Amino acid sequence: MSKDFSWQPKDLRVGTWAAIASYGMWGLFPIYWKQIGYIDAIQILCHRVFWSAIFLLAVLWIRGMTRPFTAIFKQKQSAVAVTACGVLITVNWGTYIWAVNSGRVTESSLGYYITPLLSVALGSLFFNEKMDRFTKISVTIATLGVAVAAAMMGKLPWIAITLAATFSIYGAVKKKAGLDALPGLAAETIVVAPFALAWLLWVHHYGNGLYFWTNPKPTIFLILAGPITAIPLLTFAYAALRIPLQRIGFIQYFSPTIQLMIGLFIYGEQINPPMLLAFATVVLAVVIYSSSTIHR
């Protein structure tokens, strides 16, 4: 993939659908994690990392792509990039799991509304992605709405800020590195997998771990967390190299919107005034941006 960031029509089309698929899957994640919500958040995170690494290594071997994978670690720049990505995505996952298990879904949702704004800003700052008038208007509306919503919450939304910062920077680092989707994702997962395995072995040694042989349901869900986690990350990595961060930024609104709908209509949650304001302004911003894009 060329690194001159000149967007080809085919890449834009396929990359856009890949991004939509990623955020659609992420939007449905609450249904899955709800099934094992009684398990300690750190254990869920470590299982998620470990089984993702196993799944990705298997896919690499089946597709005969082990050589590009090992080549990543032979170059300092790419090795640093995948290490940074591994740390960023692990912090993101851990923060989200902890927030959900702590009953702070509202603040975590706010984080995923903020994320696209940071993606657009990073695209403008580091990749010369110019914002036209409609994009600026859209970003301004969404920014004001999310800022007012945060102020209405009456405290610094550190969970939202952490989620937004880690994932938007993660996307920017992946784009800058320009690595192929599968080897790059496998490399960043492998970097953190030994730490996840060490934690799991430690808690099992002291009798605080989940014993697989006592209950098959959590075993199945935790093992399947590998491919379920890796697949949307693969499609995201594919999209990040083919479409501007500005476009990724607005597609990202699919995920928190889907999660919001699941909370309201499946789990019967009540939306509070700050989130209602954020949702309304974001929808307006997306409508303006999408309308201008279709017109062009």
Task: Report the distance separating Cα 143 and Cα 184, nearest Å.
Answer: 32
pLDDT confidence of residue 4 = 46
| Interval 5-29: pLDDT, tens | 556 777 888 999 999 999 999 988 8
Q: Is the pLDDT of residue 294 over 80?
A: no
pLDDT confidence of residue 71 = 94
Least confident of 30-34, 159-163, 200-204: 30-34
Tell me the pLDDT band of 247, cut-offs 50, 70 and 90.
confident
pLDDT confidence of residue 147 = 85
pLDDT confidence of residue 3 = 46
Q: What is the DSSP string of 69-91?
A: HHHHTTSHHHHHHHHHHHHHHHH
Q: pTM for the full model? A: 0.82
Residue percentage of the chain with pLDDT more than 90: 30
Identify residue 195 by its one-letter amino acid code.
F
Residues 26, 192, 102, 162, CA torsion sign = negative
Q: Is the pLDDT of residue 100 over 70?
A: yes
Find out whether 127 and 5 touch, Cβ atoms under 8 Å. Answer: yes
Least confident of 71-85, 165-179, 228-242, 282-296: 282-296
pLDDT confidence of residue 265 = 84
Task: Return the residue matching tokens 């209509």.
Answer: 265
Q: Is the pLDDT of residue 231 over 70?
A: yes
Task: Return the residue matching tokens 């990543």.
Answer: 72
Task: Report the distance separating Cα 21 and Cα 274, nearest Å.
Answer: 28
Domain boundaries, the chain: 9-177+192-295
| Interval 130-189: pLDDT, tens | 777 888 888 888 888 888 888 887 777 888 889 999 999 998 998 888 888 889 989 999
| Interval 43-82: pLDDT, tens | 999 999 999 999 999 999 998 999 999 999 999 999 999 9
Q: Is the pLDDT of residue 293 over 70?
A: no
